[in-house]
Structure 1
Amino acid sequence: MRQGDDSFFIVTVDAEEEFDWGKPFSKDNQSVGHYVAIERFQLLCDKYDVTPIYLLDYPMVANRDCAAYFGALATSGRGDIGIQLHPWVTPPYKETVNDHNSYACNLPDDLEAEKFGNLYDKIVENTGHKPLMYRAGRYGAAQNAYKLLIKYNINIDSSTRSGFDYTPQHGPNYATLPNIAFWREENILLELPLTTIFRGFWRYAPRFTYNYILKYGWARSFAARMGVLERISLTPEGISIEKTKQAIDLALKVKLPLLNFSFHSPSLEAGHTPYVRNEQDLENFYIWWEEIFAYLKQKGVRPLAVRQISEQIKKV
């Protein structure tokens, strides 16, 4: 996508199983009961003509009722379907489950391919739709994943998170990755990084500044309070309405053509993620979306369905 006067946004939802974020990964975490709470969010999206894409992992589509719900959304055009690989809950279970192997890019290529194929087949079988976009769980994608996307005719990847370095946790490094969409394979595979905005006096400093010079939490907090440098992700999970509006304004100032918002589906029900622990948190979550959708509309930033991007790629 080229930079210009028009700005658009997409909403990507990591639709996944419920698990305790403070405990070790386990293949036994298969509960997806919160999917019934997704309709409330979907109705809010309908109100603002937003078509979210739900990036489904294995437990979500192994549950036939859950998969049928997403299939109906895609059939009606209210939502799109993508694919998200959480290796630890996706068969076959051949690897040791640990932090290192929670990144699909750290698995042997053949095992990553086998898990991806099983997930892809289950999505098509139980939703009746082929996924349009991929996101590796924990943003753990590398070259083998891109080969798989081309093999399965998936034209869009959104596994990268601009401005973040996951190497201390055994993951990839996206610290210097820009926010702009780019081709991994010309006219075949488009990368749509999750949008990260830097604000403050140092916002034009090299992209590694935040991750390496301000690598400690206390230093980042101090830099943010002093207006030196602050990293803002476009998500309701841990980012305030005011900070998000500031990030949107900065994105528009530099004519960023596409804003990629995201969150995790278990946040749509109280008690599953650190961001929505109780009913008041949940109401605040919806207030966040209501205000941000209204603000985007006020600023002339238009919603874009991932299917529209995918269809355009296939015409090239």
Structure 2
Amino acid sequence: MTALGSQRFLVTVDTEEEFDWGSPFSREGYGTRHLAALPKFQELCDHYGIKPCYLVDYPIMEDPLGVELMSDYVHSHRAEIGVQLHPWVNPPFEETLSHHNSYACNLPPELERAKLTTLFNTIVQRTGTTPDAYRAGRYGAGPHTADILVDLGLTIDTSVRARFDYSEQGGPDYTHHPVNPYWIRKGSLLELPLTTVFSGAMRSAGNVVFGEWFGSQLARSVLARSSMLERIALTPEGIPLAKALEGIDLAIEERIPIINLSFHSPSLAVGYTPYVRTEEQLQEFYAWFSGVFQHLHDRGVRPTTMAEIKSASQFPWLG
């Protein structure tokens, strides 16, 4: 199926500070207390033989526990470290704080470069490892991002949330981007999109129907309830386990070479994201992972890593 031998899956974690998702962006008032909950998730991954990729941002590298955990996981070969840029908490601080500027792609190119370079060098210096992968915070990659990543030596970008549109918020539109991996710079920078599938009778025309004909939440809810069309992102945040298992089966059917699962690290503790407000929801969160990991195992889809993808000698699905 691929240079990796078969369909594989990857676990990517937006490893970031806690902040109020409903408040204006701020350079102060955030926390990193949820890091104490990270070992439990890592132990679950260890149990299933999974090496997650922690895409860390600057506040995580300012926290001694964050540096300790990331360094330990990578040097004990239990996980990988990648890069995630939240511009509003990442120096240098030259831009006006705003919703628009929370997307790194909206910054002047030289400032996006300066922030990314600062973060990359900080990760290397404090953990003793050189990351291979990048995800723009809020999925905010833009026309200058690829050049910066290539210059830093990063070989994989995973900023694209295929089949999602953030343009009304000032961000990118990924509605028609491929869900399969593809070259951004042939031979030097690979795009590894987050996995989202369509289900329902109209799934073959999902992008057009979901993104262009029925753009309102109400219309999309009607489509889902009628089993005509539903978008399933492979994340525990807002996607029930049963839907995720359906989505995995569809991804296998579609022969997506690498199924890219993702979530935000503050969801591993109670009270930091809209998805985990109670202990019961946290238990459901972990039940999601256990169910998904077991289902992937049962379907014969094995885990992979950024390093393994990078070292694959060829990518036949890319052409």
Please, what TM-score do these two structures have when normalized by structure 1? 0.96
1:179-228 CA distance string (max 9 Å, x none)? 11001111100000000000011101152321221111111111000001
Task: Please name the residue that 1:69 is paired with.
Answer: 69
Change (3 A) 1:173 1:65: same
Structure 1 match to 2:302? 302
Q: Does 1:119 align with 2:119?
A: yes
**d(CA) in 1 for partners of 2:26 and 2:311?**
37
Aligned equivalents of 1:178, 1:279: Cα separation in 2: 37
Quick check: 1:3–1:256 contact (8 Å CA) kept in 2?
A: no
Per-residue CA distance 1:82-107 (angstroms, 9 max, x = gap): 00000000011111111100000000
Q: Which residue of 2 aligns with 1:87?
A: 87
| Counterparts of residues 226-241 of structure 1 (less than 5 Å) | 226-241=226-241
Provide the rounded CA distance (Å) in 1 between the counterparts of 2:119 and 2:288: 32
Structure 2: how far apart are the matches of 1:29 and 1:113?
25
For 1:3 and 1:210, locate their aligned partners in 2 and report how far apart those are by CA, in whole Å: 33
Aligned to 1:143, the other structure's residue is in SS state coil
Per-residue Cα deviation, 1:125-168 (whole angstroms, up to 9, x for no partner): 11111111000000000121111110011100000001001100
Q: Which residue of 2 aligns with 1:167?
A: 167
* Partner deviation per Cα, 1:222-249 (whole Å, 9 max, x = no partner): 1000001100000000001110111111
Residue aligned with 1:273, SS: coil
Q: Which runs of 4+ in 1 moved over 4 A?
A: 1-5
Counterpart position of 1:181 = 181
State the AA in 2 paired with 1:297: H
Q: Secondary structure at the match of 1:21?
A: coil
Shift of residue 257, structure 1, vs aligned partner: 1.3
Aligned position for 1:201: 201
Residues in 1 aligned to 2:50 and 2:311: alpha-carbon distance in whole angstroms: 17
Give 1:235's aligned amino acid. T
Query: Could you say which residue in structure 2 is the equivalent of 1:57?
Result: 57
Question: How far apart are 1:314 and its partner, in Å?
Answer: 10
Distance of aligned partners of 1:3 and 1:309 in 2 relative to their CA distance in 1, 3 Å threshold: closer
Pair 213,238 (structure 1): closer, same or farther in 2 beyond 3 Å: same
- How much does 1:311 deviate? 2.6
CA distance in 1 between counterparts of 2:138 and 2:232 reads: 18
Q: Deviations over 1:64-93 (max 9, x none)?
A: 231121011000110000000000000111
Question: Is 1:246–2:246 an aligned residue pair?
Answer: yes
Once the two structures are TM-superposed, the CA of residue 312 in structure 1 deviates from its matched residue by: 2.8
Q: Where does 1:5-44 land on structure 2 (aligned, <5 Å)?
A: 6-44=6-44
1:96 aligns to what? Answer: 96
Separation in 2, partners of 1:120, 1:110:
15
Please give the TM-score of this superposition, normalised by the length of structure 2: 0.96
Asked whether 1:106 is paired with 2:106, we answer yes
Taking the TM superposition and a 5 Å limit, the aligned residue runs for 1:240-279 are 240-279=240-279
After superposition, give the CA deviation of every residue in 1:245-282 in whole Å (9 maximum; x if it has no partner). Answer: 11111111121111000000000000000000011110
Question: Percent of aligned pairs with the same residue?
Answer: 45
Describe the shift of the 1:314–1:201 C-alpha distance in structure 2 as closer, same or farther (beyond 3 A): closer
Change in Cα spacing, 1:155 to 1:313, as seen in structure 2 (3 Å) is farther
Partners in 2 of 1:4 and 1:147 — Cα distance? 27
Q: Name stretches of at least 5 consecutive residues in structure 2 with no aligned partner.
A: none
5+ residue gaps, structure 1: none
**Structure 1: distance between partners of 2:146 and 2:29:** 27
Counterpart in the other structure of 1:212: 212
- 1:31, 1:226 → 2: CA distance? 42
Residue in 1 that maps onto 2:284: 284
Quick one: distance in 2 between partners of 1:30 and 1:71? 22
Task: Give the Cα separation in 1 of the matches to 2:170 and 2:274.
Answer: 22
Q: Which residue of 2 aligns with 1:138?
A: 138
Question: Secondary structure of 2:204's partner?
Answer: coil
- The aligned counterpart of 1:129 is 129
RMSD: 1.8
Tell me by how many angstroms 1:30 deviates. 3.8
Cα offset, 1:10, TM superposition: 0.0
Quote the offset at 1:313 in angstroms. 6.2
Rounded to whole Å, the distance in 2 between the matches of 1:44 and 1:73 is: 13
Change over 3 Å in CA distance of 1:224–1:142 after alignment to 2: same
Q: Is the 8 A contact 1:3 1:257 kept in 2?
A: no
d(CA) in 1 for partners of 2:214, 2:4: 32
Contact 1:64 1:126 in 2 (8 A): no
**3-state SS, counterpart of residue 45 of structure 2:** helix
